[in-house]
Amino acid sequence: MYGAEMRVSVLGSGSWGTTVASLTAHRNDTVVWSRRQDTADEINERHVNTAHLDGYDLHPNLSASSDFEKICARADVLVMGVPSDALRATAERAATFVPSGIPIVSLTKGLEARTHLRMSQVIAEAMPGHPVGALTGPNLAKEIMAGCAAASVVAIDDDEIGSALQNVFRTPLFRVYRHHDVAGCELGGALKNVVALATGIAEGLSVGDNTRSMVITRGHAELTRLGVALGGEAETFAGLTGMGDLIATCVSNQSRNRHVGEQLGRGRPLDEIIAEMSSVAEGVKVAPVVAELAERHGVSMPVCTTVHRVVAGEIPAAQAYAGLMRSHAGHESEPAM
């Protein structure tokens, strides 16, 4: 099962799912599932995905199919690249066809709204009997497709499987580390999206680099506190899946979450912003979950809870920043903004 080459099946042909499939195709027999037959045909015939990665050539060995059952049944490794609100239903559907015991890797950086579970926990409930992990880190799809060097982390609690998965995903320009702290790695990826919304709002309001730096740093302190309260290890949030992912998502103009925040900062309605996007900004979905978890665990998160109020339409973006700046500043290790 853990030989040099494995059959990899990737569920989801969005920008990141397709990028990961193109990476694994360097070393493995890889097929990506698309709900749309025209997207599958385009990948097979022209080696492109114009809906999500226009202008970038995919690996020539990558193939695609809209046959969900066939793709699941062939897998030695199953990679889940669907949005958080579709993950459970997709996993439940896949459970019928996937071979027993194969590893499943989540690409989704979010939390389930109803249960507040991490994505690997959702998969484990829907597909019992499989080792489940996550591939996460500071990974912007178009930069990777352009050939820029990047690093990511396979988070799984079985070191042997983790080592095998490193070989599945790595390429000469895509370095893959492994980590045992699945909770910390996934939470860093999910929670940073809310901070990216805050940073985007700062950009939209043209408040300056000093303010953005303050928001990123204080936001990192918040996600670390909540992440530890939810079972992650503090050290994890200083690594690739915490600080690394946070920086990439907050500073890049390729970041969907930063884009949404920026448009909110310019006074545009959230529904209008979302309607014009072809990809999902998970921070919008996870913001209310973060606010609920912070309250439940007694963790002070002024940046993230204020972002939630903006996303929920309770306050405008400009008022949010004015409120944050009025908050008390004590010792830097204290929770206040």
Catalytic residue among 70, 142, 192, 285: 192
Nearest to 129 by CA among 95, 175, 79, 153: 95
Cβ-proximal residues to 177 (8 Å cutoff; 6+ apart), any chain: 151, 152, 153, 154, 166, 240
Token couple for 204: 């939209």
Q: Is 24 helix (H, G, I), strand (E, B) or coil?
A: helix
Token couple for 153: 């982390």
The total of other beta-carbon atoms located within 10 Å of residue 260's CB is: 25
Cβ-proximal residues to 87 (8 Å cutoff; 6+ apart), any chain: 80, 106, 108, 110, 112, 119, 122, 123
Chain CA centroid to CA 166, Å: 18
Torsion of CA 153, 154, 159, 165, to 10 degrees: -120
Q: Is 280 helix (H, G, I), strand (E, B) or coil?
A: coil
Q: Can you list the pairs that 145-152 forms with residues at least 24 positions away whose Cβ atoms lie under 8 Å?
A: 145/19, 145/22, 145/53, 145/56, 145/58, 146/56, 147/173, 148/173, 149/173, 149/174, 149/175, 150/174, 150/175, 151/175, 151/176, 151/177, 151/240, 151/244, 152/176, 152/177, 152/240
CA distance 173 to 175: 6
Is 142 known to be catalytic? Answer: no
Catalytic sites, residue numbers: 192
